[in-house]
Chain A
Protein backbone atom coordinates (compact mmCIF):
# COMPACT_ATOMS: atom_id res chain seq x y z
CA UNK A 1 0.00 0.00 0.00
CA UNK A 2 1.29 3.45 -0.92
CA UNK A 3 1.59 6.09 1.76
CA UNK A 4 -1.05 8.26 0.08
CA UNK A 5 -3.53 5.35 0.10
CA UNK A 6 -2.94 4.75 3.80
CA UNK A 7 -3.41 8.45 4.45
CA UNK A 8 -6.71 8.39 2.62
CA UNK A 9 -7.83 5.38 4.67
CA UNK A 10 -6.97 7.19 7.86
CA UNK A 11 -8.79 10.30 6.78
CA UNK A 12 -12.12 10.17 8.60
CA UNK A 13 -13.60 12.88 6.41
CA UNK A 14 -13.00 10.73 3.35
CA UNK A 15 -14.49 7.63 4.97
CA UNK A 16 -17.50 9.64 6.06
CA UNK A 17 -18.07 10.91 2.54
CA UNK A 18 -17.82 7.38 1.14
CA UNK A 19 -20.41 6.05 3.56
CA UNK A 20 -22.69 9.01 2.85
CA UNK A 21 -22.38 8.21 -0.85
CA UNK A 22 -23.21 4.57 -0.09
CA UNK A 23 -26.37 5.70 1.68
CA UNK A 24 -27.31 7.91 -1.26
CA UNK A 25 -26.60 5.01 -3.61
CA UNK A 26 -28.99 2.75 -1.68
CA UNK A 27 -31.69 5.42 -1.90
CA UNK A 28 -31.09 5.78 -5.67
CA UNK A 29 -31.07 2.02 -6.25
CA UNK A 30 -34.24 1.48 -4.23
CA UNK A 31 -36.04 4.26 -6.07
CA UNK A 32 -34.88 2.91 -9.41
CA UNK A 33 -35.80 -0.77 -8.95
CA UNK A 34 -39.14 0.19 -7.39
CA UNK A 35 -39.82 2.69 -10.16
CA UNK A 36 -40.79 4.98 -7.29
CA UNK A 37 -41.23 8.74 -7.27
CA UNK A 38 -38.93 9.09 -4.29
CA UNK A 39 -36.94 7.23 -1.68
CA UNK A 40 -35.59 8.82 1.47
CA UNK A 41 -33.43 7.56 4.31
CA UNK A 42 -33.92 9.54 7.49
CA UNK A 43 -31.69 9.44 10.56
CA UNK A 44 -33.10 9.69 14.06
CA UNK A 45 -31.32 12.45 15.97
CA UNK A 46 -32.01 11.27 19.49
CA UNK A 47 -30.68 14.44 21.12
CA UNK A 48 -33.07 16.78 19.32
CA UNK A 49 -35.83 14.17 18.83
CA UNK A 50 -35.91 14.90 15.12
CA UNK A 51 -35.66 13.00 11.87
CA UNK A 52 -32.92 14.25 9.52
CA UNK A 53 -32.99 13.48 5.80
CA UNK A 54 -29.62 11.82 5.14
CA UNK A 55 -30.26 10.60 1.58
CA UNK A 56 -33.00 11.44 -0.89
CA UNK A 57 -33.54 10.11 -4.41
CA UNK A 58 -36.15 11.38 -6.84
CA UNK A 59 -38.69 13.95 -5.66
CA UNK A 60 -37.17 16.29 -3.11
CA UNK A 61 -33.55 15.64 -4.08
CA UNK A 62 -31.31 17.43 -3.19
CA UNK A 63 -33.14 20.16 -1.29
CA UNK A 64 -34.41 17.81 1.41
CA UNK A 65 -31.01 16.52 2.52
CA UNK A 66 -30.28 17.92 5.97
CA UNK A 67 -33.87 19.00 6.60
CA UNK A 68 -35.28 18.11 10.01
CA UNK A 69 -38.75 17.52 11.42
CA UNK A 70 -40.14 16.22 14.75
CA UNK A 71 -39.62 12.48 15.16
CA UNK A 72 -43.00 11.86 16.80
CA UNK A 73 -44.91 12.85 13.67
CA UNK A 74 -46.55 10.97 10.87
CA UNK A 75 -46.01 7.48 9.61
CA UNK A 76 -42.22 7.70 10.07
CA UNK A 77 -42.62 8.38 13.77
CA UNK A 78 -45.09 5.59 14.25
CA UNK A 79 -43.14 3.01 12.29
CA UNK A 80 -40.03 3.56 14.39
CA UNK A 81 -41.81 3.81 17.74
CA UNK A 82 -43.76 0.63 17.12
CA UNK A 83 -40.89 -1.05 15.24
CA UNK A 84 -43.36 -2.25 12.62
CA UNK A 85 -43.13 -1.64 8.88
CA UNK A 86 -46.24 -0.26 7.24
CA UNK A 87 -47.72 0.63 3.85
CA UNK A 88 -50.18 3.45 3.43
CA UNK A 89 -51.73 2.41 0.13
CA UNK A 90 -53.82 5.49 -0.47
CA UNK A 91 -52.94 8.77 1.21
CA UNK A 92 -55.41 10.80 -0.84
CA UNK A 93 -58.37 9.84 1.34
CA UNK A 94 -56.85 11.61 4.34
CA UNK A 95 -56.11 15.29 3.62
CA UNK A 96 -54.47 16.06 6.98
CA UNK A 97 -52.08 13.15 6.60
CA UNK A 98 -51.24 14.13 3.02
CA UNK A 99 -50.52 17.65 4.19
CA UNK A 100 -48.28 16.33 6.94
CA UNK A 101 -46.28 14.32 4.41
CA UNK A 102 -46.12 17.26 2.02
CA UNK A 103 -44.70 19.49 4.75
CA UNK A 104 -41.90 17.04 5.44
CA UNK A 105 -41.12 15.95 1.86
CA UNK A 106 -42.43 18.68 -0.43
CA UNK A 107 -44.28 16.04 -2.43
CA UNK A 108 -47.73 14.52 -1.93
CA UNK A 109 -47.65 10.83 -2.81
CA UNK A 110 -50.49 8.40 -3.20
CA UNK A 111 -48.70 5.60 -1.37
CA UNK A 112 -45.95 5.32 1.24
CA UNK A 113 -43.92 2.33 2.34
CA UNK A 114 -42.13 2.92 5.65
CA UNK A 115 -39.55 0.72 7.35
CA UNK A 116 -38.03 1.15 10.81
CA UNK A 117 -34.23 1.00 10.71
CA UNK A 118 -33.03 -0.80 13.83
CA UNK A 119 -29.51 -2.01 14.53
CA UNK A 120 -28.43 -3.88 17.63
CA UNK A 121 -31.68 -3.00 19.31
CA UNK A 122 -31.22 0.72 18.71
CA UNK A 123 -33.58 2.76 16.52
CA UNK A 124 -31.38 4.50 13.92
CA UNK A 125 -33.90 5.88 11.43
CA UNK A 126 -36.60 5.29 8.87
CA UNK A 127 -36.67 4.47 5.16
CA UNK A 128 -39.61 5.69 3.11
CA UNK A 129 -40.48 4.85 -0.50
CA UNK A 130 -43.10 7.03 -2.15
CA UNK A 131 -45.35 5.85 -4.99
CA UNK A 132 -43.54 2.63 -5.85
CA UNK A 133 -44.70 0.97 -9.06
CA UNK A 134 -43.83 -2.69 -8.70
CA UNK A 135 -45.68 -4.30 -11.59
CA UNK A 136 -48.87 -4.67 -9.63
CA UNK A 137 -47.20 -5.52 -6.34
CA UNK A 138 -49.00 -3.43 -3.78
CA UNK A 139 -49.55 -3.60 -0.07
CA UNK A 140 -47.81 -6.48 1.67
CA UNK A 141 -46.05 -7.56 -1.50
CA UNK A 142 -44.38 -4.16 -1.85
CA UNK A 143 -43.20 -4.47 1.78
CA UNK A 144 -41.64 -7.84 1.06
CA UNK A 145 -39.93 -6.56 -2.08
CA UNK A 146 -38.43 -3.44 -0.51
CA UNK A 147 -37.43 -4.99 2.85
CA UNK A 148 -33.88 -6.07 1.77
CA UNK A 149 -33.06 -2.50 0.73
CA UNK A 150 -34.12 -1.29 4.16
CA UNK A 151 -31.68 -3.84 5.60
CA UNK A 152 -28.87 -2.32 3.54
CA UNK A 153 -29.88 1.18 4.58
CA UNK A 154 -29.67 0.14 8.23
CA UNK A 155 -26.06 -1.00 7.85
CA UNK A 156 -25.02 2.06 5.84
CA UNK A 157 -26.74 4.36 8.33
CA UNK A 158 -24.79 2.75 11.14
CA UNK A 159 -21.51 3.43 9.28
CA UNK A 160 -22.47 7.06 8.70
CA UNK A 161 -23.37 7.42 12.37
CA UNK A 162 -20.06 5.86 13.43
CA UNK A 163 -18.15 8.26 11.16
CA UNK A 164 -20.01 11.19 12.62
CA UNK A 165 -19.34 10.11 16.21
CA UNK A 166 -15.66 9.56 15.47
CA UNK A 167 -15.37 12.84 13.60
CA UNK A 168 -16.95 14.74 16.50
CA UNK A 169 -14.63 13.02 18.99
CA UNK A 170 -11.53 13.94 16.96
CA UNK A 171 -12.70 17.52 16.44
CA UNK A 172 -13.38 18.02 20.14
CA UNK A 173 -10.23 16.31 21.45
CA UNK A 174 -7.05 18.21 20.55
CA UNK A 175 -4.75 15.33 21.63
CA UNK A 176 -6.66 12.84 19.50
CA UNK A 177 -6.62 15.34 16.65
CA UNK A 178 -2.81 15.71 16.96
CA UNK A 179 -2.27 11.94 17.06
CA UNK A 180 -4.43 11.44 13.97
CA UNK A 181 -2.55 14.20 12.13
CA UNK A 182 0.79 12.58 13.06
CA UNK A 183 -0.41 9.17 11.86
CA UNK A 184 -1.62 10.67 8.62
CA UNK A 185 1.70 12.50 8.02
CA UNK A 186 3.68 9.37 8.94
CA UNK A 187 1.93 7.41 6.20
CA UNK A 188 3.14 9.89 3.56
CA UNK A 189 6.85 9.64 4.52
CA UNK A 190 9.47 7.88 2.38
CA UNK A 191 10.46 4.42 3.58
CA UNK A 192 13.81 5.72 4.89
CA UNK A 193 12.22 8.50 6.90
CA UNK A 194 9.57 6.08 8.10
CA UNK A 195 12.27 3.76 9.51
CA UNK A 196 13.82 6.70 11.36
CA UNK A 197 10.42 7.76 12.68
CA UNK A 198 9.74 4.21 13.86
CA UNK A 199 13.06 4.13 15.77
CA UNK A 200 12.12 7.42 17.45
CA UNK A 201 8.69 6.06 18.30
CA UNK A 202 10.35 2.99 19.83
CA UNK A 203 12.39 5.30 22.10
CA UNK A 204 9.24 7.20 23.07
CA UNK A 205 7.54 3.93 23.98
CA UNK A 206 10.51 2.94 26.17
CA UNK A 207 10.28 6.30 27.94
CA UNK A 208 6.57 5.76 28.53
CA UNK A 209 6.99 2.37 30.21
Chain B
Protein backbone atom coordinates (compact mmCIF):
# COMPACT_ATOMS: atom_id res chain seq x y z
CA UNK B 1 0.00 0.00 0.00
CA UNK B 2 1.35 3.43 -0.88
CA UNK B 3 0.93 6.66 1.00
CA UNK B 4 -0.90 8.32 -1.88
CA UNK B 5 -4.56 9.18 -2.14
CA UNK B 6 -7.30 7.47 -4.05
CA UNK B 7 -9.50 10.44 -4.71
CA UNK B 8 -13.21 10.48 -5.27
CA UNK B 9 -13.79 13.23 -7.77
CA UNK B 10 -17.51 12.56 -8.17
CA UNK B 11 -20.13 11.43 -5.68
CA UNK B 12 -20.72 8.32 -7.80
CA UNK B 13 -17.14 7.19 -7.07
CA UNK B 14 -18.42 6.50 -3.57
CA UNK B 15 -16.35 7.29 -0.52
CA UNK B 16 -15.83 3.85 0.98
CA UNK B 17 -15.97 5.13 4.54
CA UNK B 18 -19.46 6.59 4.13
CA UNK B 19 -20.88 3.76 6.20
CA UNK B 20 -18.93 5.05 9.20
CA UNK B 21 -20.47 8.51 9.02
CA UNK B 22 -21.88 9.60 12.33
CA UNK B 23 -25.38 10.97 11.76
CA UNK B 24 -25.69 13.13 14.84
CA UNK B 25 -23.78 14.25 17.86
CA UNK B 26 -25.47 14.92 21.17
CA UNK B 27 -25.93 18.46 22.31
CA UNK B 28 -23.97 19.52 24.16
CA UNK B 29 -21.01 17.24 23.41
CA UNK B 30 -19.51 16.05 26.67
CA UNK B 31 -16.10 14.56 27.41
CA UNK B 32 -17.85 11.39 28.54
CA UNK B 33 -19.51 11.02 25.16
CA UNK B 34 -16.43 12.03 23.18
CA UNK B 35 -14.09 9.68 25.03
CA UNK B 36 -16.47 6.77 25.57
CA UNK B 37 -14.97 4.45 28.18
CA UNK B 38 -11.67 6.35 27.89
CA UNK B 39 -9.61 3.28 27.03
CA UNK B 40 -8.97 3.87 23.33
CA UNK B 41 -9.79 0.25 22.49
CA UNK B 42 -9.00 -0.56 18.88
CA UNK B 43 -7.30 2.76 18.10
CA UNK B 44 -3.90 2.28 16.40
CA UNK B 45 -1.35 4.90 17.45
CA UNK B 46 2.03 5.31 15.76
CA UNK B 47 4.89 7.17 17.46
CA UNK B 48 7.50 8.67 15.12
CA UNK B 49 10.42 9.29 17.46
CA UNK B 50 13.52 7.62 18.93
CA UNK B 51 11.92 4.18 19.34
CA UNK B 52 9.91 2.75 22.23
CA UNK B 53 11.07 0.38 24.95
CA UNK B 54 8.93 -2.75 24.66
CA UNK B 55 7.47 -3.99 27.94
CA UNK B 56 8.29 -0.85 29.92
CA UNK B 57 6.03 -0.81 33.04
CA UNK B 58 4.46 2.45 31.86
CA UNK B 59 4.15 1.37 28.23
CA UNK B 60 3.28 -2.32 28.22
CA UNK B 61 3.11 -4.18 24.92
CA UNK B 62 4.21 -2.53 21.70
CA UNK B 63 2.29 -3.97 18.77
CA UNK B 64 5.02 -3.19 16.25
CA UNK B 65 8.51 -1.66 16.30
CA UNK B 66 10.19 -0.36 13.15
CA UNK B 67 13.11 1.87 12.22
CA UNK B 68 14.19 3.87 9.20
CA UNK B 69 17.44 2.42 7.90
CA UNK B 70 19.78 3.47 5.13
CA UNK B 71 20.43 0.78 2.54
CA UNK B 72 23.75 0.22 0.74
CA UNK B 73 22.65 2.47 -2.12
CA UNK B 74 21.65 5.25 0.28
CA UNK B 75 17.94 4.55 -0.06
CA UNK B 76 15.92 4.80 3.13
CA UNK B 77 13.68 1.91 4.05
CA UNK B 78 11.57 1.00 7.08
CA UNK B 79 12.45 -2.32 8.64
CA UNK B 80 11.46 -4.22 11.76
CA UNK B 81 13.50 -3.15 14.74
CA UNK B 82 14.71 -4.84 17.91
CA UNK B 83 16.91 -2.04 19.29
CA UNK B 84 14.10 -0.34 21.17
CA UNK B 85 14.65 3.26 22.19
CA UNK B 86 18.00 4.96 21.55
CA UNK B 87 17.52 7.88 23.96
CA UNK B 88 14.33 7.54 26.00
CA UNK B 89 12.14 10.19 24.42
CA UNK B 90 9.92 7.87 22.38
CA UNK B 91 9.32 5.76 25.48
CA UNK B 92 8.32 8.92 27.36
CA UNK B 93 5.74 9.74 24.66
CA UNK B 94 4.45 6.16 24.62
CA UNK B 95 4.02 6.15 28.41
CA UNK B 96 1.87 9.29 28.24
CA UNK B 97 -0.31 7.88 25.46
CA UNK B 98 -0.71 4.61 27.37
CA UNK B 99 -1.72 6.48 30.54
CA UNK B 100 -4.60 8.14 28.66
CA UNK B 101 -5.63 5.31 26.37
CA UNK B 102 -4.62 2.08 28.14
CA UNK B 103 -6.15 -0.25 25.54
CA UNK B 104 -4.91 1.42 22.36
CA UNK B 105 -2.39 -0.32 20.11
CA UNK B 106 1.04 1.32 20.06
CA UNK B 107 3.43 1.16 17.13
CA UNK B 108 6.88 2.71 17.04
CA UNK B 109 8.86 4.00 14.07
CA UNK B 110 12.32 5.26 14.92
CA UNK B 111 13.11 8.19 12.65
CA UNK B 112 15.81 9.73 14.85
CA UNK B 113 19.28 8.27 14.94
CA UNK B 114 20.53 8.44 11.37
CA UNK B 115 22.50 11.60 12.07
CA UNK B 116 21.76 15.27 11.58
CA UNK B 117 21.81 15.59 7.85
CA UNK B 118 19.59 12.69 6.97
CA UNK B 119 17.07 13.47 9.68
CA UNK B 120 14.56 15.25 7.43
CA UNK B 121 14.58 12.47 4.86
CA UNK B 122 14.28 9.84 7.61
CA UNK B 123 11.27 11.70 8.96
CA UNK B 124 9.64 11.68 5.52
CA UNK B 125 10.40 7.99 5.00
CA UNK B 126 8.94 7.12 8.40
CA UNK B 127 5.82 9.20 7.84
CA UNK B 128 5.25 7.77 4.34
CA UNK B 129 5.46 4.29 5.79
CA UNK B 130 3.13 5.18 8.68
CA UNK B 131 0.54 6.55 6.24
CA UNK B 132 0.70 3.36 4.22
CA UNK B 133 -0.15 1.40 7.40
CA UNK B 134 -3.24 3.57 7.90
CA UNK B 135 -2.70 4.30 11.59
CA UNK B 136 -5.51 6.19 13.30
CA UNK B 137 -3.17 8.57 15.14
CA UNK B 138 0.42 9.56 14.37
CA UNK B 139 2.32 11.28 17.21
CA UNK B 140 5.11 13.61 16.08
CA UNK B 141 6.88 15.20 19.06
CA UNK B 142 9.47 16.54 16.66
CA UNK B 143 9.81 18.91 13.75
CA UNK B 144 12.05 19.98 10.91
CA UNK B 145 13.16 23.42 9.76
CA UNK B 146 14.27 22.33 6.29
CA UNK B 147 12.21 24.02 3.56
CA UNK B 148 12.73 21.21 1.05
CA UNK B 149 11.53 18.66 3.61
CA UNK B 150 8.63 20.92 4.61
CA UNK B 151 7.21 20.88 1.06
CA UNK B 152 6.95 17.09 1.01
CA UNK B 153 5.79 17.07 4.61
CA UNK B 154 2.96 19.43 3.65
CA UNK B 155 1.85 17.02 0.96
CA UNK B 156 2.01 14.02 3.30
CA UNK B 157 0.08 15.90 6.01
CA UNK B 158 -2.67 16.51 3.44
CA UNK B 159 -2.63 12.85 2.46
CA UNK B 160 -3.01 11.92 6.13
CA UNK B 161 -5.88 14.36 6.53
CA UNK B 162 -7.88 12.89 3.68
CA UNK B 163 -7.08 9.30 4.64
CA UNK B 164 -8.41 9.84 8.17
CA UNK B 165 -4.99 9.51 9.79
CA UNK B 166 -4.76 12.13 12.54
CA UNK B 167 -1.30 13.71 12.85
CA UNK B 168 -0.65 15.30 16.25
CA UNK B 169 2.49 17.49 16.19
CA UNK B 170 4.52 19.50 18.71
CA UNK B 171 4.76 23.24 18.37
CA UNK B 172 8.01 24.95 19.32
CA UNK B 173 8.60 26.45 22.76
CA UNK B 174 10.81 29.04 21.14
CA UNK B 175 10.11 31.07 18.00
CA UNK B 176 11.57 28.72 15.39
CA UNK B 177 9.79 28.32 12.05
CA UNK B 178 9.38 24.59 11.79
CA UNK B 179 7.04 21.91 10.49
CA UNK B 180 4.66 19.99 10.43
CA UNK B 181 2.94 21.66 13.37
CA UNK B 182 2.35 24.85 11.31
CA UNK B 183 0.13 23.02 8.81
CA UNK B 184 -3.65 23.38 9.23
CA UNK B 185 -4.13 19.70 8.34
CA UNK B 186 -2.49 18.53 11.57
CA UNK B 187 -3.38 19.06 15.24
CA UNK B 188 -0.70 21.29 16.74
CA UNK B 189 0.02 21.20 20.46
CA UNK B 190 1.70 23.45 23.01
CA UNK B 191 1.89 23.28 26.81
CA UNK B 192 -0.28 24.75 29.52
CA UNK B 193 1.04 24.92 33.05
CA UNK B 194 -1.60 22.78 34.70
CA UNK B 195 -1.01 19.34 36.19
CA UNK B 196 -4.26 17.70 35.04
CA UNK B 197 -3.45 15.20 32.24
CA UNK B 198 -7.02 15.49 30.93
CA UNK B 199 -7.05 19.30 30.81
CA UNK B 200 -7.23 20.50 27.21
CA UNK B 201 -7.25 24.19 26.26
CA UNK B 202 -8.19 25.51 22.83
CA UNK B 203 -6.18 28.42 21.46
CA UNK B 204 -8.38 30.94 19.62
CA UNK B 205 -5.24 32.49 18.10
CA UNK B 206 -3.42 29.71 16.20
CA UNK B 207 -1.13 28.37 14.70
CA UNK B 208 -0.86 26.41 17.97
CA UNK B 209 -4.39 25.05 18.25
CA UNK B 210 -4.44 23.21 21.57
CA UNK B 211 -2.58 23.27 24.86
CA UNK B 212 -2.21 20.15 26.99
CA UNK B 213 -0.12 19.09 29.96
CA UNK B 214 3.55 19.59 29.17
CA UNK B 215 4.80 20.89 32.48
CA UNK B 216 6.60 18.62 34.94
CA UNK B 217 5.14 15.45 33.49
CA UNK B 218 6.06 12.07 35.00
CA UNK B 219 7.15 9.87 32.08
CA UNK B 220 8.71 6.49 31.41
CA UNK B 221 12.37 6.46 30.34
CA UNK B 222 14.99 3.88 29.42
CA UNK B 223 15.54 0.57 31.23
CA UNK B 224 12.13 0.60 32.86
CA UNK B 225 12.92 3.91 34.55
CA UNK B 226 11.01 7.13 34.82
CA UNK B 227 11.68 10.88 34.94
CA UNK B 228 9.84 14.18 35.24
CA UNK B 229 10.10 16.25 32.04
CA UNK B 230 8.67 19.45 30.55
CA UNK B 231 8.20 20.62 26.99
CA UNK B 232 5.71 20.60 24.16
CA UNK B 233 7.07 17.17 23.24
CA UNK B 234 5.25 15.83 26.28
CA UNK B 235 2.07 17.84 25.76
CA UNK B 236 1.65 16.33 22.29
CA UNK B 237 1.20 12.68 23.38
CA UNK B 238 -1.49 13.83 25.82
CA UNK B 239 -3.52 15.01 22.82
CA UNK B 240 -2.63 11.84 20.90
CA UNK B 241 -4.00 9.85 23.82
CA UNK B 242 -7.21 11.92 23.74
CA UNK B 243 -7.51 11.30 19.99
CA UNK B 244 -7.07 7.56 20.63
CA UNK B 245 -9.90 7.73 23.17
CA UNK B 246 -12.14 9.53 20.66
CA UNK B 247 -11.35 7.16 17.79
CA UNK B 248 -11.69 4.13 20.07
CA UNK B 249 -15.18 5.28 20.95
CA UNK B 250 -16.18 6.58 17.50
CA UNK B 251 -14.47 4.68 14.71
CA UNK B 252 -14.01 6.32 11.36
CA UNK B 253 -14.16 9.98 12.32
CA UNK B 254 -12.22 12.31 10.03
CA UNK B 255 -9.38 14.50 11.40
CA UNK B 256 -11.73 17.42 10.87
CA UNK B 257 -14.31 15.80 13.15
CA UNK B 258 -11.71 14.78 15.73
CA UNK B 259 -10.41 18.34 15.85
CA UNK B 260 -13.96 19.63 16.26
CA UNK B 261 -14.55 17.24 19.16
CA UNK B 262 -11.31 18.35 20.80
CA UNK B 263 -12.49 21.94 20.46
CA UNK B 264 -15.89 21.15 21.97
CA UNK B 265 -14.44 19.38 25.00
CA UNK B 266 -11.71 21.96 25.66
CA UNK B 267 -11.94 23.46 29.15
CA UNK B 268 -12.13 27.05 27.89
CA UNK B 269 -14.92 26.35 25.37
CA UNK B 270 -18.30 26.71 26.99
CA UNK B 271 -21.81 26.46 25.66
CA UNK B 272 -23.29 29.79 24.54
CA UNK B 273 -26.62 31.06 25.79
Instruction: Tell me whether A and B are bound partners.
Output: yes
In contact, B88 and A97 (Cβ under 8 angstroms) = yes
Chain B residues contacting A77 (CB-CB under 8 Å) are 87
In contact, B225 and A94 (Cβ under 8 angstroms) = yes
Nearest opposing residue in chain A for B122, CB measure: A81
A143 vs chain B, min Cβ distance (A): 5
In contact, B142 and A82 (Cβ under 8 angstroms) = yes
Nearest opposing residue in chain A for B143, CB measure: A83
What total of chain B residues lie within 8 Å of the partner, measured CB to CB?
A: 42
What total of chain A residues lie within 8 Å of the partner, measured CB to CB?
A: 41
In contact, B87 and A140 (Cβ under 8 angstroms) = no
In contact, A93 and B225 (Cβ under 8 angstroms) = yes
In contact, A72 and B173 (Cβ under 8 angstroms) = no
A126 vs chain B, min Cβ distance (A): 11
B157 in the interface (beta carbon within 8 A): no
Q: Which residue in A86, A97, A150 is a CB contact (below 8 Å) of B222? A: A97
Query: A139 to B222, alpha carbons, bound, how many Å?
Result: 21
In contact, B230 and A46 (Cβ under 8 angstroms) = no
A38 in the interface (beta carbon within 8 A): no
**At the interface with chain B, which of A12-20, A115-123, A178-186?**
A115-123
B63 in the interface (beta carbon within 8 A): no
A48 vs chain B, min Cβ distance (A): 11
Query: Which residues of B (127-180) have their CB < 8 Å from a CB of A?
Result: 141-147, 170, 172-174, 176, 178
Query: A74 to B112, alpha carbons, bound, how many Å?
Result: 13
A-B contact count (CB 8 A): 125
In contact, B170 and A140 (Cβ under 8 angstroms) = no
Nearest opposing residue in chain B for A146, CB measure: B174
In contact, A82 and B174 (Cβ under 8 angstroms) = no
In contact, A139 and B193 (Cβ under 8 angstroms) = yes
In contact, A84 and B215 (Cβ under 8 angstroms) = no
In contact, A46 and B117 (Cβ under 8 angstroms) = yes
Query: A143 to B175, alpha carbons, bound, how many Å?
Result: 12
In contact, A81 and B145 (Cβ under 8 angstroms) = no
* A85 in contact with B215 given A80-B116, A90-B227, A91-B227 (CB within 8 Å): no
Query: A66 to B157, alpha carbons, bound, how many Å?
Result: 42
A3 in the interface (beta carbon within 8 A): no
Query: A74 to B87, alpha carbons, bound, how many Å?
Result: 6
A138 in the interface (beta carbon within 8 A): yes
In contact, A87 and B170 (Cβ under 8 angstroms) = no
Chain B residues contacting A81 (CB-CB under 8 Å) are 50, 112-113, 116, 119, 142
Binary interface encoding of chain A residues 90-127 relative to chain B, with 1 for a CB under 8 A from any of its CBs, else 0: 11011111000000000000000001001001010000
* A87 in contact with B229 given A78-B112, A81-B112, A140-B173 (CB within 8 Å): yes
In contact, A96 and B116 (Cβ under 8 angstroms) = no
In contact, B191 and A140 (Cβ under 8 angstroms) = yes
Query: A150 to B228, alpha carbons, bound, how many Å?
Result: 22
A141 in the interface (beta carbon within 8 A): yes
Binary interface encoding of chain B residues 167-202 relative to chain A, with 1 for a CB under 8 A from any of its CBs, else 0: 000101110101000000000000101000000000
A193 in the interface (beta carbon within 8 A): no
In contact, B216 and A84 (Cβ under 8 angstroms) = no
A71 in the interface (beta carbon within 8 A): yes
* A88 in contact with B229 given A81-B113, A83-B176, A94-B221 (CB within 8 Å): yes
Chain A residues contacting B268 (CB-CB under 8 Å) are none
Chain B residues contacting A115 (CB-CB under 8 Å) are 174
Chain A residues contacting B226 (CB-CB under 8 Å) are 93-94
**8 closest A-B pairs (Cβ-Cβ)?**
A139-B230, A82-B142, A87-B230, A139-B215, A89-B228, A86-B231, A90-B228, A94-B225
Additional pairs, 4, CB under 8 Å, beyond known A78-B50, A121-B146, A140-B193: A46-B117, A75-B87, A85-B172, A94-B222
Chain B residues within CB distance 8 Å of chain A? 49-50, 86-89, 112-113, 115-117, 119, 141-147, 170, 172-174, 176, 178, 191, 193, 214-216, 221-223, 225-233
